[in-house]
Amino acid sequence: MKLLSFPIVVFSLFFFVSCGSKSEKQDQKAQEEQVTHADIEIVEHKDEKKVDVMIDGNLFTSYQWPDNIYKPILYPVLTSSGTEITRGFPLDPREGERTDHMHQVGIWLTYGNVNGYDFWGNGSKGLGVKSDNGGEIKHLGVEQLSGETGEGSLVARASWVNPSGKELLTERTVYHFIVDGPTRIIDRLTTLTATGEAVSFKDTKEGMFGIRVARQLEMPSEEDVTLTDAQGHPTTVEKMSNEGVTGNYRSSEGATSDAVWGTRAKWMHLYGSIGDEKISLVISDHPENLRYPTYWHARGYGLFAANPFGVKDFTEGKEELNYVIPAGESLTLRYRVIVSSGNYLTDDEINTYTGDFATKY
């Protein structure tokens, strides 16, 4: 009996290992095919003032320029499984969300003090309500659209104008939308050119490349928080129920939680769960950006932003940067957004994505 049972056990073990290896190879092949064959379609809807980015027929995000927001935005932003990671308020409020900072919508790039005008906080009093000193980024047109397997692109033009309508800056932004299995990537390359006269970016924490996330990706909070805007006006972010709130930050330099605010890092990782779905959201800085590695205006209440200009606020007055773009000259800023679904990205995976971004552009 022993002589008979031994080969049976060996055969069974061999069969198990062989099938396991075959199954793993099939899963790997399926994942590779998902990467290779994901079709990206960029669809413009001029009458709705938006351009949809579709991946295999499903919405990933929309480039929008609503009249009542005063800047172009990417909104909403969804994971590969269709879960929305951006806050719905104020465009499409969802139960349980915060209702502070109405100007923080989707993904955007603005600044709080451009020649003395507040582009960051314009619209903070409500949809369609301009701030007295608020600048506006006006969408001018879509220059190019391109959708293909694995990657798509969009080129848009805009104009930064002061409250009287005078143009301060022209903007040309190139977006690249990339699929890597269950991971979605947005690369934003923005060139700002001073028109007519020099344009100053006076040092303030109110900037610059930001996203406002869904309630579940905020950090749990046990108290009210009072914050000030670019003009020094206070805003109270009230304590709310922490049920389902799971977010936490980790920087490339190892800082975590609230300690990431005002620090410098090559990338910042916000991770948490919405329902049973594990989600990683990363913003990567670029080595050619001003003041690399950037400072982070990343808050537990859901604001997640990179700001190379807010040196004075972030160093408690020890340093200061009042940057000027001379008349006719330009500044280019490059940022990568990584949205991963199913597992939290490791530091090594983020470093790989960030390294690819650094060499690609």
- Which CATH number fits the domain that encloses residue 205? 2.70.98
In a domain, 35, yes or no: no
Q: Please, which pLDDT band fits residue 12 given cuts at 50, 70 and 90?
A: very low
In a domain, 170, yes or no: yes
Give residue 150's pLDDT. 93
Q: Is the pLDDT of residue 59 over 50?
A: yes
Residues 264 and 332 in one domain: yes
Give residue 229's pLDDT. 57
Residues 157 and 214 in one domain: yes
Q: What is the overall mean pLDDT for the chain?
A: 90
Residue burial 321-336, b: 16+ Cβ < 10 Å; e: rest: bebebeeeeebbbbbb
106-125 average pLDDT score: 97
Q: What amino acid is encoded at 199 in this protein? A: V
Residues 13 and 121 in one domain: no
Residues 52 and 198 in one domain: yes
Q: Identify which has the larger pLDDT, 2 or 259.
A: 259
Residues 19 and 107 in one domain: no
Q: Quick check: helix, strand or coil at residue 203?
A: coil
Q: Quick check: helix, strand or coil at residue 113?
A: coil
First CA to last CA across the chain, in angstroms?
68
This prediction has a pTM of 0.87
Residues 79 and 171 in one domain: yes
> Partners of 107 in the beta sheet?
74, 211
Give residue 3's pLDDT. 42
Q: How many domains does the chain have?
A: 2
Both structure tokens of 41:
């379609």
In a domain, 258, yes or no: yes
Contact assessment for residue 182 and residue 204, using Cβ atoms and an 8 Å cutoff: no
Both structure tokens of 132:
């007295």
User: Which of these, 258, 257, 335, lies nearest to 294 by C-alpha position?
Assistant: 335
Residues 48 and 26 in one domain: no
Q: Please, which pLDDT band fits residue 13 given cuts at 50, 70 and 90?
A: very low
Write out the residue range of the structural domain in which residue 23 sits. Answer: 1-30
In a domain, 36, yes or no: no
Residues 209 and 331 in one domain: yes
Q: Quick check: helix, strand or coil at residue 167?
A: strand
- Of 6-15, 254-263, 276-285, 302-311, least confident by mean pLDDT is 6-15
Residues 24 and 77 in one domain: no
Distance of CA 322 to the CA centre of its chain: 25
| Distance between CA atoms of residues 204 and 232, nearest Å | 11
10-26 average pLDDT score: 45
Residues 194 and 332 in one domain: yes
Give residue 241's pLDDT. 79
In a domain, 60, yes or no: yes
Residues 289 and 261 in one domain: yes
β-sheet with 207-212: strand ranges across? 40-45, 50-55, 58-64, 73-77, 107-111, 207-212, 303-307, 295-298
Q: Please, which pLDDT band fits residue 221 given cuts at 50, 70 and 90?
A: confident
Q: Would you tell me how many other CB atoms lie within 10 Å of the CB of residue 21? A: 10
| Model pLDDT for residues 152-200, shown as the tens digit of each residue | 999 999 999 999 999 999 999 999 999 999 999 999 999 999 998 999 9
Give residue 250's pLDDT. 98
Residues 311 and 333 in one domain: yes
